[in-house]
Structure 1
């Protein structure tokens, strides 16, 4: 049964990224509203990402959250993003630990740069992010539908508690 499940994952088509990302508009603060989380995202409260372009073209990233409660200790990570050439700036490699780089695909980006979905071809992780800490139900439902259409099991999606200001 497990082999059958693994072979089904391998038959999924590659995630389609957005055609073009204006990096200057994409930079800045993003609230992580929901995700199929990684191991480091254990019980996060107010998870937040910040992107800033470095002079060499890489992306300085700060990922922070409070552990287990809004008053919990702050956890902060500083991976570096590398835009894949000729990808319309929609495909990155994120490096938490040298020399390993993880796939980071901008699979959805609203026209006003207020909402985004970051995906991976393995369908193991996904992040739904917004410029605001809260989404209305209709917007959230529409974004989750997009994630499901990409081939993700949305039952694994976790909504993260957010406060109105991010952790610094």
Structure 2
């Protein structure tokens, strides 16, 4: 019973966080997004190397985000990580996304727990679709991802600069470790 109460409390807290982050009234992105995103090339698994932790994914290890475009045009998303380290408990979240701006495919919406929707901005994707930087209208939440489980410090800093030049608050941006 105590575990269920803790889980329910966590869901309610996440609902509050997402409601605070939900900027559904934002009509146009308040920052520069990628000029164009080829959805088919963007689909697949990305390794998360930097992220803004929430109470649900704090201390993530080996985090990945996988996108799959289904027949109805929805983007089935699977976010996986181990809590605290390589032997930590495997956590999985499965929000559903959809393209909000079909002209560029760089602005999505993500629905969490079937209840709350939040903007998802593809700020940058490399020409070879090997690196991406994801942001949010509040400029407080961000993700740095690549197709590889490893990233050099130089490459990480270069991708981090994509956020800095858009005036993101990077004080909470956290590196994610991945095993060899």
- TM-score > 0.5 by shorter chain: yes
Determine if the alignment matches structure 1 residue 94 to structure 2 residue 149.
no
Distance 1:104 1:50 in 2: 15
Residue 144 of structure 1 and its aligned partner are, at CA, apart by 1.1
**Greater RCO (CA < 8 Å, at least 6 residues apart):** 1
Q: Answer whether contact 1:38 1:125 (CA < 8 A) is retained.
A: no
Q: 4+ residue stretches of structure 1 with deviation over 3 A?
A: none
CA contact (8 A) 2:126 2:132 kept: yes
Verify the 8 A CA contact 1:54 1:60 in the aligned structure 2.
Answer: yes
Greater percentage in strand: 1
| Structure 1 residue ranges without an equivalent (≥5) | 1-12
Q: Is 1:106–2:110 an aligned residue pair? A: no
The CA deviation string for residues 29-74 of structure 1, in whole angstroms up to 9 with x for no partner, is 1000011222321111001010001110000000000011101110
What is the total number of aligned residue pairs between the two structures?
A: 152
Superposition pairs of residues 121-136 of structure 1, within 5 angstroms: 121-136=137-152
Calculate the TM-score normalised by the size of structure 1: 0.86
In the alignment, which residue of structure 2 is the partner of 1:29? 45
Preserved CA contact (<8 Å) 2:75 2:98: yes
* Correspondences of 1:47-62 after superposition (within 5 Å): 47-62=63-78
Q: TM-score, normalised by structure 2?
A: 0.80
Distance across 2 between alignment mates of 1:68 and 1:137 = 22
Counterpart secondary structure, 1:162: coil
Instruction: Give the RMSD, CA atoms, in angstroms.
Output: 1.3
Deviation at 1:154, TM superposition (A): 2.1
Shift of 1:87: 4.0
